[in-house]
Structure 1
């Protein structure tokens, strides 16, 4: 079975559901509040595990009630947490407002994730054993760099989600095989608003790029080939939180299984489409059987 390692964040999502998100200085009344395990790293781990991979998580939670629930949630989805550290202090949190159109705005408080600034004994061997390493930017850059270096040294495919968007060190880019920004992150990284032009600009720095385009699907570019645009299934979105992480987790599984690129992208888009029809991040992520039932080549 495919083995995927995720080095990244775990957060408790504190989600308020409202008709319309408040403007600056405005107070609105919400209709519901929920606490849902999340964090881009944990989300991608859950997505990959539900999509059929063996998944191990490297990261940290606090020694609080959220930390216990975050660890349990990962384990319940089949993610191995032997390398998920427990540290003194609070777990990470994400404060999320979701409107009735399924859009969201998010404030992340790193908490325990801020302590993940290096690899500890055993992490390198775990990464070396993987078919793919998934990285994001919700933990300190030093750990992201260490993970990418380790993966490159052992010939492990590295997939980076550059979120939250920030300047990417050349050393990191040299260790990335596949970069998966959304269209806003691609624009922030390149200064180019058009996703096709932004993808081309990013391709000068990494071998492969997928720019996700929300309801419009995704764009894949690689050196020496024509761009490939893959549409997303038409669905009514309830909550888009975690859709990008669902896409990345499912895509990593499909590529590790050596599916053709178009098939892998279409399969991942089907997984993301299923997730936006449900509330929550990790709670919304589909299982392999659901993806296969929704997937159409």
Structure 2
């Protein structure tokens, strides 16, 4: 198995609004919809559509939302290792404003029951070339999956979102850390035991690099900064597009990144390799923000390659 994702799956409840409401404010939506989502689901779908042989370990409820998510994953060509559990499938309430920016609230539901990896799930992880993790499932499961992968020689990529405290034993098993600029600042503050770290992305990457792992800081429309200890850093420029909806753009980046990383077939991670993978992932994310929704916006490998040929 090439890429394995262990993570969350949600049904997204999406409301289009003129602007994100302030605290205590009620506004009227201009439209609403539902769509498959959840960071793990988005990322494994992005990896599969970007050409990876992708597998997904997740927990869904035994409800209509779970059925819909499972069908969407099958349609995208993802190999499934699902638990159908006695809790509602996770949901996310998403407001998207006229600039394409969003605000999201997640109810974990069944995702919280993805605990104690089974023998079969451990074998799936150990058989992967790349494992991709996020933080919408229990931290103990994330750390356990990373440890299984590290023991098997599998490359571990952690998207530390939504941001939480990261145990040192988990970080010791990670090869590539992917965070946005706000998440990077939060982690840097934890490392410095400071209330806040005011620094640009280069300084943040230097602080996170003290962990001894490669770091990618995504910068939205500005692109991404790639940093590898001992090799410095490099900026991958953003691609100018008209954003319709940024929901899932970071997940599209992560899924496309690991697909390209696996395709490279290298057992070592260097700056040139990660820059190449980040350039591919940036193009995938730029395509995704031009369409609405998380999973519905994720591009295929053919679309990514066609887009890059025009740059």
TM-score, normalised via structure 1 length? 0.97
Q: Does structure 1 conserve the Cα–Cα contact (< 8 Å) formed by 2:52 and 2:262?
A: no
Q: Equivalent residue of 1:22, what SS?
A: coil
Q: How many residues align?
A: 295
Q: Which residue of 2 aligns with 1:130?
A: 128
Are positions 1:5 and 2:4 aligned together?
yes
Give 1:167 shift: 1.1
Q: Which residue of 1 aligns with 2:233?
A: 227
Q: Equivalent residue of 2:161, what SS?
A: coil
Q: Equivalent residue of 2:18, what SS?
A: coil
Are positions 1:107 and 2:108 aligned together?
no
Q: Which residue of 1 aligns with 2:64?
A: 65
Unmatched runs of 5 consecutive residues or more in structure 1: none
How big is each residue's C-alpha offset from its partner over 1:41-71, in whole Å with a ceiling of 9 and x where there is no partner?
0100000000001111001000111011011
Distance (Å, rounded) in 1 between the aligned partners of 2:36 and 2:169: 32
Q: Equivalent residue of 1:119, what SS?
A: coil
Q: Which residue of 1 aligns with 2:305?
A: 292
220, 223, 227: which is aligned to 1:214?
Answer: 220
How big is each residue's C-alpha offset from its partner over 1:16-39, in whole Å with a ceiling of 9 and x where there is no partner?
011111111111111111111000
Q: Equivalent residue of 1:112, what SS?
A: helix
Q: Which residue of 1 aligns with 2:40?
A: 41
Q: Does structure 1 conserve the Cα–Cα contact (< 8 Å) formed by 2:225 and 2:233?
A: yes
Give 1:127 shift: 0.8
Q: Which residue of 2 aligns with 1:237?
A: 243
- Paired residues for 1:135-150 under 5 Å: 135-150=133-148
Are positions 1:272 and 2:270 aligned together?
no
Q: Which residue of 1 aligns with 2:296?
A: 283
How big is each residue's C-alpha offset from its partner over 1:155-189, in whole Å with a ceiling of 9 and x where there is no partner?
00000000110110000000000000011111111
Distance (Å, rounded) in 2 between the aligned partners of 1:265 and 1:142: 28
Distance (Å, rounded) in 1 between the aligned partners of 2:14 and 2:255: 22
Unmatched runs of 5 consecutive residues or more in structure 2: 190-196, 266-272
Distance (Å, rounded) in 1 between the aligned partners of 2:7 and 2:87: 18
